[in-house]
């Protein structure tokens, strides 16, 4: 829909661009949002000037926020939000950068509005717009932070449950700590992946370091054992504590088709036998 | 739920079922699902598309990429104008089949997706709506 | 119509499934394979699915059927190379293919078939090459 009458904000951004930019940068310097310790004045000048141009183009394009011009504004803000985060700005600093534009626009808006009613309406729509854009930088910062947290959680998960090779064709997964359903699922998927990578025929899942299991975790364990069998490998579960054995029976989880051993050593002995290795004590003369 | 992208495919033949699987695989990759989740979704798509073909006498599949703040999802709609399912609870039960399969199609697909809803009117047709979130 | 090739290797048949099979192709494979078992007197069947990105209940049932039919025709079946994601999904779907033998690779599958047939007194001694593969590390 073409605008019948250009908004006062559009006129201000067009006619008073130079003055607005100058006033805005001065406000930023004075208000502490500029952070000269983190950013050169020339870079601040560039960012401010670029933002004003994009904003002007978007305001001219109309108020519907899904157009290409508004997309460019948001993309620019997302870009500086992450570049500023890397420079050490806080999300508050970045939001303040956008919010500080209000003051610079205010005077010009009043001059060009004429009557008070028009000014009130223009002021309201400008404030709403700037607030919206400032909030957008905050949500971008939050999303970035969430991504970092998720990645760190994944990395911790990988670190906390290494799949180790015990012998040719034998893998072990020593699990430590409380198992929740999500963690068990991730760990089991990586175990199956390692089985393919290493060509291991037997995998031992040792749960000596696991205090309790619930139904879901027990079901994930059984699922893994079954999936490994479909791939052509066998799983042995070792280190089941008496409490866990009791829980498994109480929960009615069927482990009859799963090899279980009391200790990792017992499981290893079984695994060696399954892979065709013989185990015996060396006689005196063979000892080094 | 904002829909980012929609594709519609006809399900009229066995090769259409393959086409549905391949499209769902591409979309699941674009949505950023990991390999196991992709496989779950593609397998569910295969089961549901085959049901549409074999029991619904053919129909159509609509695949949607969903975005919500903080999460991405894939939605699959399968619609037909076939005879309908008289007893949905029974149809979802493992081992129940009126055809030649194992009767794992609907129940299995429900286990592979986060959410699966069936609407069916005898004589009018069936609509299966399945979503998995990342 | 398109067909999946079946290779004869000594007394075994080898099928490598590399395409995303539609249902008619899967059914055709089932028929072709049972016909070839009778025709060649094969004692073992290797089905390599390492290239398959998905096995649904239809293909799963086809695999189970082949194994069951082959058994009646006096041949043993080994399914090789199932990908982890496929295996997990198949289990969640509710199919665990009881009675179907599995191996990580075609090579291991071949060794397994030889061992099974040897144990049943059907084959002579496993070949020297197989024993070399079978032996563990020398330490």
The domains located in chain B, with CATH, are: 3-133 (3.30.565.10)
C24 touches B at CB < 8 Å: yes
| Predicted pLDDT at A55 | 92
DSSP B59: E
| Predicted pLDDT at A160 | 67
pLDDT at C130 over 50: no
Q: What is the total residue count of chain A?
A: 288
- Is beta strand C44-48 parallel, antiparallel or unpaired with respect to C12-16? parallel
Q: Which residue of C has its CA nearest to B14?
A: C22
pLDDT digits (tens, 9 = 90+) for C19-58: 888 888 999 999 999 999 999 999 999 999 999 999 999 9
pLDDT at C124 over 70: no
User: C58 and B101: CB-CB below 8 Å?
Assistant: yes
CB pairs under 8 A between B and C: 71
**Which residues contact residue A203 at a Cβ distance below 8 angstroms, ignoring those fewer than 6 apart?**
A170, A171, A172, A173, A191, A194, A195, A228, A233, A234, A235, A236
| Predicted pLDDT at C131 | 39
Tokens of A50: 């670029």
Distance (Å, rounded) from C-alpha A176 to C-alpha A231? Answer: 26
C51 touches A at CB < 8 Å: no
| Predicted pLDDT at A244 | 87
Number of H helices, E strands in chain C: 5, 5
pLDDT at A285 over 70: no
What is the percent of chain C where pLDDT is above 70? 87
* Residue numbers in A near B69 (CB within 8 A): 139
Residue C139 resides in a domain: no
Tokens of A39: 């950013």
pLDDT digits (tens, 9 = 90+) for A193-240: 999 999 999 999 999 988 888 888 888 888 999 999 999 999 999 999
Q: What is the CATH T-level fold of the domain A164-277, as seen in this structure? A: Transcription Regulator spoIIAA (3.30.750)
Distance from CA of C18 to the nearest CA of B (A): 14
Q: For the structural domain made of A8-153, what CATH number should be given? A: 1.10.490
User: B14 and C23: CB-CB below 8 Å?
Assistant: yes
The ranges assigned to domains in chain A are 8-153, 164-277
* Residue numbers in C near A168 (CB within 8 A): 136-137
| Predicted pLDDT at A282 | 77
CB atoms within 10 A of CB B15: 13
| Predicted pLDDT at B15 | 92
C40 versus C136: which is more confidently predicted? Answer: C40
| Predicted pLDDT at B107 | 87
pLDDT confidence band for B101 (50 / 70 / 90): low
Task: Kindly state the helix (H) or strand (E) to which residue C16 belongs, with its residue range.
Answer: strand C12-16
CB B70 within 8 A of CB B124: no
φ/ψ (deg, to 5) at C18: -120, -5
pLDDT digits (tens, 9 = 90+) for B80-98: 998 888 788 787 777 666 6
* Residue numbers in B near C17 (CB within 8 A): none
Distance from CA of B9 to the nearest CA of C (A): 16
Distance (Å, rounded) from C-alpha B112 to C-alpha C93? Answer: 7
φ/ψ (deg, to 5) at B67: -130, 135
* Residue numbers in B near C58 (CB within 8 A): 46, 50, 101
Residue C1 resides in a domain: no
pLDDT digits (tens, 9 = 90+) for A163-188: 899 999 999 999 888 888 888 888 88
pLDDT confidence band for A284 (50 / 70 / 90): low
As a whole number of angstroms, the longest Cα–Cα distance in chain B is 43
Q: Which residue of B has its CA nearest to A143?
A: B70
Strands (E), chain A: 164-167, 170-176, 202-209, 234-238, 259-261
Q: Which residue of B has its CA nearest to C58?
A: B101
pLDDT at C134 over 50: no
DSSP A65-109: TTSHHHHHHHHHHHHHHHHHHHHT--HHHHHHHHHTHHHHHHHHH
pLDDT digits (tens, 9 = 90+) for C94-105: 888 988 999 999
pLDDT confidence band for C135 (50 / 70 / 90): very low
- CATH at residue C121: 3.30.750.24
The count of domains in chain C is: 1
A189 touches B at CB < 8 Å: yes
pLDDT at C117 over 80: yes
From the number of C-beta atoms within 10 Å of its C-beta (0-12, 13-18, 19+), residue A271 rates as buried
**Which residues contact residue A22 at a Cβ distance below 8 angstroms, ignoring those fewer than 6 apart?**
none
| Predicted pLDDT at A87 | 85
Whole-number average pLDDT of chain C? 87
B108 touches C at CB < 8 Å: yes
Number of H helices, E strands in chain A: 11, 5
B31 touches C at CB < 8 Å: no
* Residue numbers in B near C51 (CB within 8 A): none
pLDDT at C115 over 90: yes
Domain range for residue C92?
6-134
pLDDT digits (tens, 9 = 90+) for A44-98: 899 999 999 999 999 888 767 778 888 899 999 999 988 888 888 888 888 999 9
φ/ψ (deg, to 5) at A189: -65, -40
- The radius of gyration of chain C's CA atoms, rounded to the nearest angstrom, is 15
Distance (Å, rounded) from C-alpha B127 to C-alpha B61? Answer: 10
B28 touches C at CB < 8 Å: no
CB B119 within 8 A of CB B127: yes
Q: Which residue of B has its CA nearest to C83?
A: B36
Residue C23 resides in a domain: yes
Chains contacting A with at least 3 CB pairs below 8 Å? B, C
Distance from CA of B70 to the nearest CA of C (A): 25
pLDDT at A4 over 50: no
pLDDT confidence band for B99 (50 / 70 / 90): low
pLDDT digits (tens, 9 = 90+) for A146-167: 888 888 877 776 666 788 999 9
Tokens of A235: 């799983």
Q: Which residue of A has its CA nearest to B70?
A: A143
| Predicted pLDDT at B97 | 65
Strand-pairing partners, residue B120, are: B126
């Amino acid at each position: 829909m073409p605008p019948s009458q250009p908004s006062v904000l559009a006129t201000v951004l067009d006619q008073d661009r130079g003055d607005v930019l100058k006033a805005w940068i001065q406000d930023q310097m004075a208000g502490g949002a500029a952070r000269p310790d983190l950013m050169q004045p020339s870079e601040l000048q560039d960012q401010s000037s670029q933002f004003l141009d994009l904003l002007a183009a978007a305001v001219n394009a109309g108020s519907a926020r899904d157009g290409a011009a508004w997309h460019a504004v948001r993309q620019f803000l997302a870009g500086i939000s992450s570049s500023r985060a890397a420079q050490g700005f806080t999300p508050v600093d970045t939001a303040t950068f956008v919010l500080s534009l209000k003051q610079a626009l205010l005077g010009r808006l009043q001059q060009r509005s004429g009557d008070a009613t028009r000014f009130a309406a223009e002021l309201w729509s400008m404030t709403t717009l700037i607030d919206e854009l400032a909030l957008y930088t905050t949500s971008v910062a939050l999303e970035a932070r969430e991504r970092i947290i998720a990645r760190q959680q994944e990395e911790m998960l990988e670190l906390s449950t290494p799949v180790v090779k015990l012998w040719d064709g034998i893998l072990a997964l020593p699990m430590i700590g409380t198992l929740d359903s999500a963690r068990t699922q991730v760990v089991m998927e990586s175990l199956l992946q390692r089985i393919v990578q290493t060509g291991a025929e037997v995998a031992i899942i040792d749960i000596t370091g696991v205090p309790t299991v619930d139904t879901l975790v027990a079901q994930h364990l059984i699922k893994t054992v079954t999936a490994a069998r479909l791939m052509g490998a066998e799983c042995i579960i070792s280190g089941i504590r008496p409490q866990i054995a009791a829980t498994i029976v109480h929960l009615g989880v069927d482990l009859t088709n799963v090899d279980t051993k009391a200790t990792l050593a017992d499981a290893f002995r079984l695994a060696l036998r399954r892979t065709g290795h013989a185990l015996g004590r060396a006689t005196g003369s063979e000892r080094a | 739920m904002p829909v980012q992208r929609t594709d519609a495919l006809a399900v009229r033949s066995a090769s259409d079922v393959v086409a549905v699987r391949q499209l769902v695989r591409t979309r699941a990759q674009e949505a950023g699902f990991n390999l196991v989740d992709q496989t779950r979704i593609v397998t569910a798509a295969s089961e549901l598309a085959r049901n549409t073909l074999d029991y619904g006498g053919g129909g159509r599949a609509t695949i949607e990429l969903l975005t919500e703040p903080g999460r991405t999802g894939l939605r699959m709609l399968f619609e037909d104008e076939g005879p309908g399912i008289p007893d949905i609870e029974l149809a979802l039960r493992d081992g129940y089949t009126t055809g030649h399969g194992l009767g794992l199609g609907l129940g299995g697909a429900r286990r592979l997706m986060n959410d699966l809803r069936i609407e069916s009117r005898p004589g009018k047709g069936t609509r299966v709506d399945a979503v998995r979130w990342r | 119509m398109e067909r999946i090739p079946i290779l004869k290797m000594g007394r075994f048949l080898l099928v490598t499934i590399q395409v995303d099979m539609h249902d008619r192709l899967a059914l055709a494979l089932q028929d072709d394979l049972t016909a070839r078992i009778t025709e060649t007197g094969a004692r073992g069947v290797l089905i390599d699915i390492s290239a398959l990105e998905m096995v649904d209940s239809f293909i799963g049932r086809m695999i189970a059927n082949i194994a069951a039919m082959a058994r009646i025709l006096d041949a043993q079946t080994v399914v090789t190379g199932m990908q982890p994601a496929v295996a997990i999904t198949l289990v969640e779907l509710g199919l665990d293919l009881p009675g179907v033998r599995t191996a990580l690779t075609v090579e291991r599958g071949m060794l397994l078939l030889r061992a099974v047939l040897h144990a049943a007194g059907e084959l002579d001694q496993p070949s020297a090459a197989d024993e070399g593969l079978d032996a563990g590390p020398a330490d």
